[in-house]
A and B are shown apart, each in its own frame.
Chain A
Amino acid sequence: MSTYAQKKGFGATLWDFLTTVDHKKIAILYLIAGGLFFLVGGLEAVFIRIQLAVPNNDFVSAGLFNEIITMHGTTMIFLAAMPLIFAFMNAVMPLQIGARDVAFPFVNAVSFWLFFFGGVFLNLSWFLGGAPDAGWTSYASLAIASKGHGVDFYILGLQISGFGTLMGGINFLVTIINMRAPGMTYMRMPLFTWSTFVTSALILFAFPPLTVGLVLMMFDRMFGAHFFEAAMGGNTIIWEHLFWIFGHPEVYILILPAFGIFSEIFSMFSRKRLFGYSSMVFATVLIGFLGFMVWAHHMFTTGLGPVANAIFAVATMAIGVPTGIKIFNWLFTMWGGSVKFTTPMHYAFAFIPTFVAGGVTGVMLAAAAADYQYHDTYFVVAHFHYVIVGGVVFALLAGTHLYWPKMFGTMLNETLGKITFWTFFIGFHMTFFIQHFLGLWGMPRRVFTYLPGQGFETANAVSSFGAAFMSVGVIVMLINIIVTSVKNVKVGNDPWGDGRTLEWAIPSPPPFYNFKQLPLVRGLDAYWIEKMEGKKGMTPAEPLGDIHMPNSSFLPFIMSLGLFIAAFGAMYHVDKVSWALPVMILGLLITFGAMFTRSVKDDHGFHIHKEELMDDDDKGVKA
């Protein structure tokens, strides 16, 4: 397949990305799509802060404001943070374990296209009669009462993208279990791979409850059922349970990979192995496990009674322990090290105080009786932005700088990177620190405005001002990406010079088969061990031989497109329009037709022959 190395026109490149099953290209697709949705969600955040900058503002109307907050939350969680995390998991995890791809490359492409079409469907609501307006939690009584199709877009869009996420999780689990290179035992896996593993397990158990909730609500809204209608004997509290049984692990689905990325950064730029590696692994698994035991802390005020509240309060506090272990292990990784403050290290370093602030407010929120005061106020808004922006978004920005050379073969500019960091960091604290106090002073969350004379004016103005700084940071980052992509200065295997894990042992970007010969792993930080012994690269674990690779396919795109079409049919079916049912059937036929084709048509892939590999000596391949 030497065609891969040739220069191609735009059409051919586009077709290549539409049909690719290569984990590195799918990672780029996730990065682009997730990045675009991040910008959309960010724009929505800016609108929120403009509206709240002064009391009684009329920048947006009350109804539109609710649509904006709903879409801001939904977009940021499902369509920005998770796909961006998936981008790094796809780009890095197979390389870190010394694999040539994920276990099911075809399914990997299906996952991406499902997410993509689900996200596009959800955002089309803006142009088709209004976005969902019941909050990202979409509590049942309000969601059922919501007029128009907004909430239908939410229900169907999240189901489609949820399928993709679930498949992705399963794919990563199988990959990590089955495809580790010789010598790569579980306790030699880099922390990012470990967190991918635990996260995937969380996805496997957390997404089905969400799907169940969404399906029940779909039947309520579109097919005349009454699961959540109190007047008909339904119960809206069930939605709250289903949502949070998913929703709380979701928080850890987001934050564990962030922990993984930071663990890599601390270790790399301190030139030290991770302090307390086994306890870090243990803490990751424990956080994942406890993550399923605490969902009702989102429902302390629902009226579950003191017994349930007390149990969930104590369980929630318990999560503070493994998280604390991690913080101290990171600090002691740097202790005695040789710390270089690169852009990724700036984010990692700033993450520690920021995340500790978010963590301690988390413990405060866990105190059930006190939570009756915090619940649904700006205190909570401040808390979860401290953990999600201070944890997840910092990690994604750090990861973008760290892995950019590995994904695209060129470095992002460090000066611009640090400008992005400082503006974003200062803006972030300015926006959210003050919100703790707004909540304590009595400002509920999700309010489209506030009346003057309640003492909220100054703090809200400060908060909105901070949002402007954050926006500048993101814009500088976009400029950075454009400038460096145009210059396109090529870099070698280990551009940071401090690489420890397998991905830094191969070219940037790696050839499409990743490893010509699978590497032999001799311990934690496999590449570092070889470097310290003066070797240039990894010792191969196998003789040079033919490599079996999967064929590209357009079917993942078609399969996902079918569900996208069917969703429109399902949604407009409620309005009794004549074309709705045929469209739904057509869409499902496309999806099932594509699945049938995939099942009956043999696709054995192809082999790269030994001779070609010898010619292809360590030539980097254009991504």
Chain B
Amino acid sequence: MKRLAKWRFISLFAILALVLSGCGEPYLSTLNPAGEVADTQYDLMKLSTLIMVGVIIVVMVIFVLVFIRFRRKDDTIPKQVEGSHKLEIIWTVIPILLLLVLAVPTVAATFKLADVSPMDKKNSKALVVNVRAHLYWWDFEYPGQKIVTSNELVVPTNEKVYFNLKSADVKHAFWIPAVGGKMDVNTENVNRFWLEFDDKKANDAGNLFYGKCAELCGPSHALMDFKVKAISKDKFDAWVTAMQDVKEPLKASTAAASEGQQIFNKSCIGCHAVTPANKMPDTARIAPNLSNFGDRSRVAGILEHNKENVKKWIKNPETYKPGNLMTGKYGNLSDDQIDALADYLMGLKVQE
């Protein structure tokens, strides 16, 4: 027994070391809060952890004392105690007080994080993004700016961004762990909430946060990632202008790419738009908008952004996202055609 107890101690230290060694990645972890929402939630986490560690210490002290002092040594029958009103009142009242300490900030934070009133104001300047979740990709529409993009959300830092969330098929959940808690993306109603992206923290994270789907939505639920480019207000405005300037699909610049564009216009354009202008209703946007595909940081939200991966993806999307709705929609393309297509897609850049 003694040896085993020691063993447990060592494993406890090992775990502790592991914990201290990391708060997770700055672009992903809730323990590296990068904005007002995540900060509020992190504060609540710390408060509740603190209270709970207090409780654990009290329990463990009694626990260890029992273990040491009251092991059976002989056959004497201990005194049969019925209980103690004084003790029972103590361990009823103190927990109630502790919970009140936690409940008050919890309620306050819950109301604060649900405050989306600026969205309803007339002529509101608030930046709004309509998020439409689809089987394994994300559609981001900026109604005020009249532009649409996909799989890579672009937001200005140090400003509240408001979201309208709705699903196009099954239930999903929209989550950018480092920036704030998640909100479900329901099939029947629009959920609204806000997030704020801290400029300094965004810099630490390389201006690219990881976003995830947090609700089981089918085979590729695990791969329904998106990225969030959090940039300064100036850069954001420049990006919006650049997007708005794309009235016609961008022209291919090389010979191979223009061959790719022809293939695209034959096989892909039925689902994929290549202009960011917001003309179609959200239900008609059945595949990711590719207007600024060349600017993005991942292929299909998951693969490293290079031409090889674009080709691999087009060749067989099923290998990379099982159950996706793209597989089998565009017939068989030869390797040369896929190569040209990839050239064209990689050249779709709105910003240099």
Contact = CB atoms under 8 A, between A and B. Distances in A.
Given A338-B73, A353-B56, A441-B29, 7 more contacts: A271-B77, A272-B80, A317-B99, A324-B55, A341-B71, A363-B52, A433-B15
Interface stretch (A166-174, A306-314, A551-559): A306-314
Given A237-B186, A360-B52, A339 B66 contact: yes
B220 interface: yes
Interface in A231-266: 234-237
B63 A62 contact: no
Interface in A431-455: 433-434, 437, 440-442, 444, 446-451, 454-455
A141 to B, nearest CB: 4
A444 B4 CA distance: 34
Interface in B94-109: 95-96, 99, 102-103, 106-107, 109
Nearest to A142: B170
Interface stretch (A98-106, A368-376, A384-392): A368-376
B214 interface: yes
Contacts of A360: 52, 55-56
B175 interface: yes
A593 interface: no
Interface string B140-172: 000000000000000000000000000101110
A301 interface: yes
Interface stretch (B39-47, B236-244, B264-272, B308-316): B39-47
A370 B71 contact: no
A188 interface: no
A332 B87 contact: yes
Contacts of A303: 183-184, 186, 189, 191
A442 to B, nearest CB: 4
A310 B111 CA distance: 8
Interface in B210-262: 210, 212-223, 225
Contacts of B212: 442, 444
Interface stretch (A76-84, A275-283, A579-587): A275-283
B302 A451 contact: yes
A354 B112 CA distance: 34
Contacts of A124: none
B219 A454 contact: no
Contact of A369 (B40, B67, B70): B40
Contact of B77 (A364, A459, A532): A532
A230 B188 contact: yes
Nearest to A326: B91
B280 interface: no
B350 interface: no
Interface in B61-90: 62-63, 65-67, 70-74, 76-84, 87-88
Contact of A338 (B49, B78, B87, B223): B78
Contacts of B284: none
A61 interface: yes
Interface stretch (B16-24, B329-337, B339-347): B16-24
B111 A442 contact: no
User: Shortest 4 CB-CB distances between A and B: which pairs?
Assistant: A372-B181, A441-B24, A447-B222, A276-B83
A476 interface: no
Nearest to B49: A364
B327 to A, nearest CB: 13
Contacts of A368: 106, 109-110
Contacts of B78: 270-272, 336-338
Given A336-B70, A352-B63, A455-B24, A373 B191 contact: no
A573 interface: no
A371 B24 contact: no
A369 to B, nearest CB: 4
Contacts of B218: 66, 142, 145
Contact of A430 (B11, B74, B189): B11
Contact of B182 (A234, A339, A375): A375
B264 to A, nearest CB: 28
A334 interface: yes
B177 interface: yes
A289 interface: no
B222 A63 contact: no
Nearest to B71: A339
A371 B181 contact: yes
B182 A356 contact: no
Nearest to B51: A363
A451 B177 CA distance: 16
Contact of B72 (A328, A338, A361, A429): A338
Interface of B: 4, 8, 11, 15, 18-19, 22-25, 28-31, 38, 40-41, 44-45, 48-49, 51-52, 55-56, 59-60, 62-63, 65-67, 70-74, 76-84, 87-88, 91-92, 95-96, 99, 102-103, 106-107, 109-114, 167, 169-171, 173, 175, 177-178, 180-184, 186-189, 191, 210, 212-223, 225, 302, 322-323
B25 A66 contact: no
Contacts of B219: 61-63, 65-66, 133, 448
Interface residues of A, number: 97
Contacts of A142: 170-171, 216-218
Contacts of B52: 360-361, 363-364
A13 interface: no
A458 interface: yes
B187 A141 contact: yes
Nearest to B135: A145
A442 B179 CA distance: 11
A426 interface: yes
A455 B29 contact: yes
Given A237-B188, A317-B99, A455 B28 contact: yes
Interface string A387-426: 0000000000000000000000000000000000010001
A353 B225 CA distance: 37
Contacts of B171: 139, 141-142, 236
Given A364-B48, A372-B180, A275 B81 contact: yes
Given A370-B41, A372-B41, A448 B222 contact: yes
Contacts of A442: 24-25, 28-30, 177-178, 210, 212
Interface of A: 61-63, 65-66, 133-135, 139, 141-142, 145, 230, 234-237, 270-273, 275-279, 301-303, 305-306, 309-310, 313-314, 317-318, 320-321, 324-325, 327-329, 331-332, 334-341, 349, 352-353, 356-357, 360-361, 363-364, 366-373, 375-377, 422, 426, 429-430, 433-434, 437, 440-442, 444, 446-451, 454-455, 458-459, 462, 532
Nearest to B67: A349
Nearest to B170: A141
Given A341-B71, A433-B15, A331 B66 contact: yes
B70 A338 contact: yes
A63 B107 contact: no
Nearest to A137: B216
A292 B131 CA distance: 34
Contact of A444 (B51, B109, B213): B213
User: Counting chain B CB atoms within 10 Å of each CB, which of A301, A341, A459 scores highest?
Assistant: A301
A477 to B, nearest CB: 18
Contacts of A278: 83
Contacts of B210: 442, 454
A339 B72 CA distance: 5
A154 to B, nearest CB: 14
B66 A334 contact: yes
23 contacts: A66-B219, A270-B78, A301-B173, A317-B99, A327-B59, A331-B66, A332-B84, A332-B87, A336-B78, A338-B71, A338-B73, A339-B66, A341-B71, A353-B63, A356-B59, A360-B56, A364-B48, A371-B181, A372-B181, A375-B214, A430-B11, A437-B19, A437-B24
Given A303-B191, A318-B99, A441 B184 contact: no
B63 A331 contact: yes
Contact of A353 (B59, B80, B302): B59
B221 A447 contact: yes
B70 A444 contact: no
